[in-house]
Amino acid sequence: MEPNFAALRKEFPVLERKTYLNSGSYCALANDVKASIEAYMDDRLAIGANWDVWVTKNESVRELTAKLLRATPDEIAVTASVSAGLNSLASALDFSGPRNKVVSSDFEFPTNAQIWYAQESRGAKVVRVPRDASGYIPAESFAAAIDENTQLVAITHVCFRNGAKLEIPEIVRLARANGAKVLLDCYQAVGSIDIDVKKLDVDFAVGGMLKYLLGTAGIGFMYVRDSFTKSLVPTNSGWFAQADIPAMDITGNHPHPSARRFEAGTPAVVNCYASEAGLKFLLDVGTPAIEKRNFALTRRCMEQLVDIGWPSITPTQDARRGATVAIPSRDSAGLSRELIKRDIVTSYRDNNLRASFHFYNNEADIESFVGAMKDLRSEFAPR
């Protein structure tokens, strides 16, 4: 049975006042998430340091993230950010031999490029696959870059600039044929579409809680395939990465046998409260239903933009699109500001305005947004 999206929408108070199309930057705040943060404050005032509960919350985030990705809890590291997870992973990889290549793409978020370029001093060679004349990067474009010297293919799932989704299964097959590992940055996808890391056959996946996972900033995750959890030993570490945390051992480094070895210091406690609530909410709705709804909403928005003569640059095929619709503008920042004046919340990257949808959006949001875009077309559309 399809979720009651009209009822679920009422759990996000901001939607009563705003047309909120900015989940690709920061999700709308749910009542349950707000209550979880208040519960943390109540605990602090009543008890102070409630470590037993705090550790339980961190483990709950791990278990819920594993359920979301169809992984096991031992394959999930709860990190401070995607950057923290990637730096820990990078520190565990050896680039001194012939397999020193990292293949990336023009669609990457800066983190999933800069961190690999930072490994060049350790022998890494970074190769970036460019977009084609249409602005997309088809899977076959990776064929020339991935070879027997490739150690890691580090790719985004959905591009933050234009909402385009890469053909992950095909890229993974190219990597497997050459013996390379695959890292998936699914920050702009996870929670908005259904993701099964086992079916995708990726080795690593990273993301965070502040976008489509309904949580907050300052907390993320990294999935590490079970076959790598013991063979990769990060040199970026900390006391929560140890096999026996309570031992407080200062005589050596003893990494946990699970993906926890990619963690570092004290968990972000209040963020665990919020993320636990957000993940529970999301899983109750179900990502298959969310994916279906987001495809319908983005498709309808793109059709209406064509009708007003201001089409998006986001691919029209569901297989090549996430939950963001990117619209070109000669002043994307100015356009975003004008929309804010009309209580329409969007974001912008480069010369594109971004309208990012989630299951709590509806047809009325599309009508409001497209109506405003029609009014502003003469001032902000490309000439």
Q: Output the pLDDT for position 315.
A: 97
Domain final position from 248, 283, 318: 283
Amino acid at 269: V
Least Cα distance to 27 among 288, 263, 207 occurs for: 207
Domain final position from 255, 283, 311: 283
Q: Output the pLDDT for position 300.
A: 98
Strand order in the sheet with 101-105: 76-79, 220-224, 204-208, 181-185, 150-156, 101-105, 125-129
Q: Within its chain, how far is the Cα of 3 from the centroid?
A: 23
Least Cα distance to 282 among 1, 79, 11, 6 occurs for: 11
Give yes or no: residues 193 and 234 share one domain: yes
Give yes or no: residues 218 and 358 share one domain: no
Give yes or no: residues 99 and 213 share one domain: yes
Give yes or no: residues 279 and 290 share one domain: no
Domain final position from 227, 260, 283: 283
pLDDT in tens for each of the 383 residues of the chain?
A: 899 999 999 999 999 999 999 999 999 999 999 999 999 999 999 999 988 888 899 999 999 999 999 999 999 999 999 999 999 999 999 999 999 999 999 999 999 999 999 999 999 999 999 999 999 999 999 999 999 999 999 999 999 999 999 999 999 999 999 999 999 999 999 999 999 999 999 999 999 999 999 999 999 999 999 999 989 999 999 999 999 999 999 999 999 999 999 999 999 999 999 999 999 999 999 999 999 999 999 999 999 999 999 999 999 999 999 999 999 999 999 999 999 999 999 999 999 999 999 999 999 999 999 999 999 999 999 99
Give yes or no: residues 70 and 180 share one domain: yes
Q: Output the pLDDT for position 241.
A: 96
Q: What is the CATH number of the domain that holds 183?
A: 3.40.640.10
Give yes or no: residues 11 and 48 share one domain: no
Least Cα distance to 37 among 187, 206, 209 occurs for: 209
Give yes or no: residues 137 and 60 share one domain: yes
Q: Which residues pair with 356 in a beta bridge?
A: 22, 324
Q: What is the CATH number of the domain that holds 12?
A: 3.90.1150.10
Give yes or no: residues 243 and 101 share one domain: yes
Domain holding 195, by residue range, is 34-283
Q: Output the pLDDT for position 272.
A: 97
- Taking phi over 0 as left and psi of -120 to 50 as alpha, with beta for the rest, 218 belongs to left
Give yes or no: residues 233 and 135 share one domain: yes
Give yes or no: residues 161 and 74 share one domain: yes
Give yes or no: residues 73 and 216 share one domain: yes
How far is residue 329's CA from residue 335's CA, in Å, rounded to a whole number?
A: 8
Q: Output the pLDDT for position 336.
A: 98
- Taking phi over 0 as left and psi of -120 to 50 as alpha, with beta for the rest, 314 belongs to beta
**To 5 degrees, how large is the angle CA 203–CA 129–CA 200?**
25
Q: Output the pLDDT for position 1.
A: 82
Environment class of 3 (CB within 10 Å of its CB; exposed 0-12, middle 13-18, buried 19+): middle
Q: Within its chain, how far is the Cα of 11 from the centroid?
A: 23
Question: What domain count does the chain have?
Answer: 2
Q: Output the pLDDT for position 290.
A: 98
Q: Output the pLDDT for position 135.
A: 95
Give yes or no: residues 301 and 260 share one domain: no
Q: Within its chain, how far is the Cα of 202 from the centroid?
A: 15
Least Cα distance to 40 among 246, 257, 213, 268 occurs for: 268
- pTM here is 0.96
Q: Helix or strand or coil: residue 47?
A: coil
